[in-house]
A and B are shown apart, each in its own frame.
Chain A
């Protein structure tokens, strides 16, 4: 077994990518590993003529994936926007893996991200010793992407300070990065493009300048549309995480996952799934990603401290932690939900008791 905790998509799904490439006879844009059709198939899952099963990486609207792929094929940059936990980074990674075979040309946006990270930096020892030279240049992941004609990724674009963000404009519109110190410029090779992700709910974000915004086609990723979609997402991600973490627990019962997802959806939307009762929403986002982590941490508890079978008690602490983000406002909201909704549901007594005990 490989010791890497988490492998990049192009390695984890190498077999699928190879199989798709083998069957892909449609035209490919320059330096794309797969045709746009095959990329869509890779993301949404399909069964190849030889019986190879391609798993679905993204569960949701086919339209959105098509628009994302078509955007990248027209050499326009793609901005994936959405509330936390809507699989923005996940989709970005798999798109880069399928198109360029490399999802690692990544810049993580933070409040401290400097221009050097987006453009290039210097090896100062060399710079001082030899003066500005090609050898002293430390290229950013995006500069690599430009030179090799690959997809570069920028995560959390809106967390980067605005003046630094605007460094991207030249790269995206001129497809060129001037290096005045060397008196030269790097011209992007065909196949270069950028996928950025941004959080539409985050507080303290730096708005995109409209000049930069115009360089992107924006795809807003929605929360999963139906309970079944969301349960399917949680189930498949938990299964792969359990393998990665080598947890000895049994795979969780669908019923447990369904309950966590239902609770999260109801609290998020403010209405019960049957549409009959209103509930208050807590301050947290309660994303699908959080539901996944509640189930995995529950599994870890069950396997290391319990009997290896996921029970309500194992999930309760994770659920309370995910739901109660504000120590003052959230406990009464969750308590009211427990008393009015969870308590009344058939077969939910264990969950009610476990959550109530944890809430104290």
Chain B
């Protein structure tokens, strides 16, 4: 009976290659891999075909799926290769570590403590690296272990080095680390009891010395592992991406260059040459210059550099330097291209068909197949036409996923203002959606059911009116009538309890959009309209109190808000509401509200023809009268005119009032008023400004009469007959002078 421990580095391609040779030689009858024993059942799934890494093993607390750990595997991970070896040779394989059943029970403080202790200890490999004349452990390990050919003796050397390191450093291990190693030893003893003759144990190099069963008594381990808390856990496989492999996760630190590791693991001859040729192709694909001659020079530089640095083969650093100094003229700007195309790569893992245990995930896959939406790791855009049933169905599906917290698609918000039937989505599948799916499974077993339940759940807990309205919009877009009705009811009760005018106003635009644009979807527009009407009425009532005593800045946000509200009411096309707003604005125009807001009120009323021109003129005269503070007058004008000057261009009386006021300002007042006036008039479209200037340049007496013949020089004799004809059409009596 024998136990052979293989100390490896997680995701080490050289380790993986050496490990395969070593396993072939050892021919073990039991393979144990460092990993969560909770997921032993998942190893059996590997018997199926169709696993294409990168994939990850997920372990999560069944009651609280947000607490989850991921164990990613790449093609070149030694653990993955060990599992595959066991599968090929029909040998049982299992995981060994402290089960997450016990680890999820740890409180947040305990976890923080462990993390701090680990951070304090730093990278133990750093000591070996420094002894060997290297600056950091990562690089040392790559040079000494990963980037050498596959040789079997390396594991004995690693174990010896780690034993020496642990003995010399004599670090105090944390309780968690001790428990984990005790659990690993326990697994080992179990396997021995099960009758295994030649056990291969694959674990992180650091743990290798701890697996000597002679040195630790079983009773000590049992004492360490006694009475641990228990949490119910569930496990599953999930696709992963190369990008994700670069992040730290369950198996410790992330790796910077999965693409390079893949390349190393694939092995073969001419590793540097093929890598640099691939680099050249990657650069060419982005239209960058990289000739074959440059590849040759880069290979030569790599060889010279490796020689100078005392390495057998060029490593990643040498190849990147060669690219930078031969291809890229010394600049680092091409590194981003290389990183995306070569160092990391855009690979997305694949699981066998039918290996999906979550009903919700099954439903998702069935639906996306039906709608022909393929998940991709690289971002992709999708334009949908909502008038077609296919486009609408996809849009609804993506909106439902959004409601589930799975942001596969991000909706480009801009086109909404352009048209009501086009939607542009940016699609990108991210591995963490697997976790969101697990989380969402708590709400139901199908996408539609879970989405509705999750929205209703969120509505129960939402307190702000704006939040509820957003949920309502989402429910409508996702075509979840049940949830929409529930949220609508919540909006109803909530609006009654909302007294803040700003919240009321802000809730109206999304509702108005729903009423107006809901027609490309089937939704209960009448109910939404009713709510919008009620909200608008209550908002109008609250308006006068809300806008009194505002600071200048607050007033400006209200100007914006009122403009938006006005536009929303236009969408609703409800004469009664319009009249309601007008009376509210009238009240505001006469109230002591901020000058700019009062100006805006008069402007909106005039546009709606709710004020006769004479009344408007009176307001202007009043606000611009000599007794008024010129600054306030200017701000009133800003509210009255900003955005469009058509009002005064065509109304000579108003223009005259304005001219009179402006001309009457003292120098000092004029200077004070100038910035506001400039902002106001600067907001007019250029043709209006030109027309305004033209009107002002005309003589005052002409301006007052505004007679047509002041504008055109008419030849009375030649135009007489035309005028007569037109007059007859219109049934008018001609004045004496035109006869």
Out of A37, A213, A218, which one reaches B308, CB within 8 Å? A37
Which of B297, B329, B330 is packed against the most chain A CB atoms within 10 Å?
A: B330
Cβ < 8 Å to A, chain B residues 298-327: 300-301, 303-305, 307-309, 317, 321, 325-326
Chain A residue at minimum C-beta to C-beta distance from B293: A214
Out of B301, B309, B317, B328, which one reaches A76, CB within 8 Å? B301
- A293 in contact (CB, < 8 A): no
B-contact bits for A169-180, CB 8 A (1 contact / 0 none): 000000000000
Q: Is the CB of B308 within 8 A of A217?
A: no
Which of A66, A76, A217 is packed against the most chain B CB atoms within 10 Å?
A: A217
Out of A66, A74, A76, A218, which one reaches B329, CB within 8 Å? A218
Known: A37-B308, A66-B309, A220-B330. A214 touches B294 (CB 8 A): yes
Q: Is the CB of B330 within 8 A of A219?
A: yes
Which of A40, A74, A81 is packed against the most chain B CB atoms within 10 Å?
A: A74
Q: Which residues of A contact B330 (CB under 8 A)?
A: 79, 81, 218-220
Q: How far is the CB of B593 from chain A (nearest CB, A)?
A: 42
Q: List 25 A-B contacts (CB under 8 A).
A: A36-B304, A63-B317, A63-B321, A67-B301, A67-B305, A70-B301, A70-B307, A71-B325, A73-B304, A74-B297, A74-B301, A74-B303, A76-B297, A76-B300, A76-B301, A81-B330, A214-B291, A214-B293, A214-B294, A217-B301, A217-B325, A218-B330, A219-B330, A220-B330, A220-B331
Q: How far is the CB of B36 from chain A (nearest CB, A)?
A: 41
- A69 in contact (CB, < 8 A): yes
A-contact bits for B247-262, CB 8 A (1 contact / 0 none): 0000000000000000
Q: Is the CB of B321 within 8 A of A67?
A: yes
B-contact bits for A73-117, CB 8 A (1 contact / 0 none): 110100101000000000000000000000000000000000000
Q: Is the CB of A70 within 8 A of B297?
A: no
Q: Which residues of B contact A40 (CB under 8 A)?
A: 308
**Cα separation A57 to B326 with both chains bound (whole Å):** 25
Q: Which residues of A contact B317 (CB under 8 A)?
A: 63
**Cα separation A14 to B68 with both chains bound (whole Å):** 66
**Cα separation A218 to B331 with both chains bound (whole Å):** 9
Q: Which residues of B contact A79 (CB under 8 A)?
A: 330
**Cα separation A288 to B309 with both chains bound (whole Å):** 29
Cβ < 8 Å to B, chain A residues 11-46: 36-37, 40
Q: How far is the CB of A53 from chain B (nearest CB, A)?
A: 20
**Cα separation A44 to B51 with both chains bound (whole Å):** 51
> Size range of the interface on B?
20 to 34
Out of B291, B294, B304, B328, which one reaches A74, CB within 8 Å? B304
Q: Is the CB of B329 within 8 A of A69?
A: no
Q: Is the CB of A213 within 8 A of B325?
A: no
Cβ < 8 Å to A, chain B residues 383-401: none
The B interface, classified by DSSP as helix, strand, loop or mixed, is: helix
Q: Is the CB of A71 within 8 A of B304?
A: yes
Q: Which residues of A contact B303 (CB under 8 A)?
A: 74
Q: How far is the CB of B317 from chain A (nearest CB, A)?
A: 8
Q: Is the CB of A70 within 8 A of B291?
A: no
Q: Which residues of B contact A214 (CB under 8 A)?
A: 291, 293-294
**Cα separation A223 to B291 with both chains bound (whole Å):** 30
**Cα separation A70 to B301 with both chains bound (whole Å):** 6
The A interface, classified by DSSP as helix, strand, loop or mixed, is: helix
Cβ < 8 Å to A, chain B residues 266-306: 289, 291, 293-294, 297, 300-301, 303-305
> Size range of the interface on A?
20 to 34
Q: Which residues of B contact A67 (CB under 8 A)?
A: 301, 305, 321, 325
Q: How far is the CB of B309 from chain A (nearest CB, A)?
A: 7
Q: How far is the CB of B307 from chain A (nearest CB, A)?
A: 8
Q: Is the CB of A213 within 8 A of B329?
A: yes
**Cα separation A23 to B714 with both chains bound (whole Å):** 108
Q: How far is the CB of B11 from chain A (nearest CB, A)?
A: 25
Q: Which residues of A contact B291 (CB under 8 A)?
A: 214
Q: Is the CB of A66 within 8 A of B300?
A: no
Chain A residue at minimum C-beta to C-beta distance from B300: A74
Which of A69, A70, A79, A213 is packed against the most chain B CB atoms within 10 Å?
A: A70
Q: Is the CB of B308 within 8 A of A66?
A: yes
Given contacts A74-B300, A217-B301, A217-B325, 15 further A-B contacts (CB under 8 A): A36-B307, A40-B308, A66-B305, A66-B309, A70-B301, A70-B307, A71-B325, A74-B303, A76-B300, A76-B301, A81-B330, A210-B289, A214-B294, A218-B329, A220-B330
Chain A residue at minimum C-beta to C-beta distance from B302: A70
**Cα separation A214 to B292 with both chains bound (whole Å):** 11
Q: Which residues of A contact B304 (CB under 8 A)?
A: 36, 70-71, 73-74
Q: Which residues of A contact B294 (CB under 8 A)?
A: 214
Cβ < 8 Å to A, chain B residues 634-679: none
Q: Which residues of B contact A213 (CB under 8 A)?
A: 329
**Cα separation A69 to B308 with both chains bound (whole Å):** 9
Q: Which residues of A contact B297 (CB under 8 A)?
A: 74, 76, 217
Chain A residue at minimum C-beta to C-beta distance from B321: A67
**Cα separation A220 to B297 with both chains bound (whole Å):** 18
Q: Which residues of B contact A219 (CB under 8 A)?
A: 325, 330
Cβ < 8 Å to A, chain B residues 50-103: none
B-contact bits for A204-220, CB 8 A (1 contact / 0 none): 00000010011001111
Q: How far is the CB of B635 from chain A (nearest CB, A)?
A: 35
**Cα separation A74 to B297 with both chains bound (whole Å):** 8
Q: How far is the CB of A258 from chain B (nearest CB, A)?
A: 27
A-contact bits for B5-49, CB 8 A (1 contact / 0 none): 000000000000000000000000000000000000000000000
**Cα separation A218 to B303 with both chains bound (whole Å):** 17
**Cα separation A36 to B293 with both chains bound (whole Å):** 24
**Cα separation A237 to B622 with both chains bound (whole Å):** 79
Q: Which residues of A contact B307 (CB under 8 A)?
A: 36, 70
**Cα separation A220 to B330 with both chains bound (whole Å):** 5
**Cα separation A54 to B274 with both chains bound (whole Å):** 40
Q: How far is the CB of B664 from chain A (nearest CB, A)?
A: 42
Q: Which residues of A contact B325 (CB under 8 A)?
A: 67, 71, 217-219
Chain B residue at minimum C-beta to C-beta distance from A39: B308
**Cα separation A214 to B303 with both chains bound (whole Å):** 19
Out of A36, A37, A71, A210, which one reaches B301, CB within 8 Å? A71
Chain A residue at minimum C-beta to C-beta distance from B332: A220
Q: Which residues of B contact A81 (CB under 8 A)?
A: 329-330
Q: Which residues of A contact B293 (CB under 8 A)?
A: 214
B-contact bits for A183-213, CB 8 A (1 contact / 0 none): 0000000000000000000000000001001
Cβ < 8 Å to B, chain A residues 138-184: none
**Cα separation A73 to B300 with both chains bound (whole Å):** 10
Q: Which residues of A contact B309 (CB under 8 A)?
A: 66
